[in-house]
Amino acid sequence: MDKEQSAITSKPENGIYIYGLFLDGGRWDSRTHSLADALPGEMYSRMPVIHFNPERLYVQPSGTYAAPIYKTSVRAGVLSTTGQSTNFIIAANLPSKEPADYWVLKGTALLCQLND
């Protein structure tokens, strides 16, 4: 998961690579390959390339946080007919040494763009 965009030279056999996401309410620790607390004064941090690989009957692994991915840092949106915000895209399971509740209380989420 810690690949840089420039290090990718071919497409994955299954799924897709995405890059350009920002992490709000935490940071990605490349050393431990897991979520970590944000550094002092750091509002957002860049995420490395993420490989999304679809699976049938997927079960969220223990020791992960289902980080919501939003289009913008404004976490509001119109509720669609599905009952989800139009700003919400999908959740990405990120490894964590902390329980999921820890990140929920911090409002940790992935963002496609910043509104700065």
Q: Which two tokens stand for residue 116?
A: 């700065």
For the stretch 26-74, pLDDT in tens is: 999 999 999 999 999 999 999 999 999 988 998 999 999 999 999 988 8
Query: Check: CATH 3.10.490.20 for 5-111?
Result: yes
Burial class (CB in 10 A: 0-12, 13-18, 19+), 24: buried
- Beta bridge pairs of residue 88: 70
| pLDDT over 90 at 84, yes or no | no
What pLDDT score was predicted for residue 12?
87
pLDDT at 83: 67
Domain ranges of the chain: 5-111
Cα–Cα distance between 37 and 26 in angstroms, integer? 5
In the numeric block, the tokens 């420039």 are attached to 6
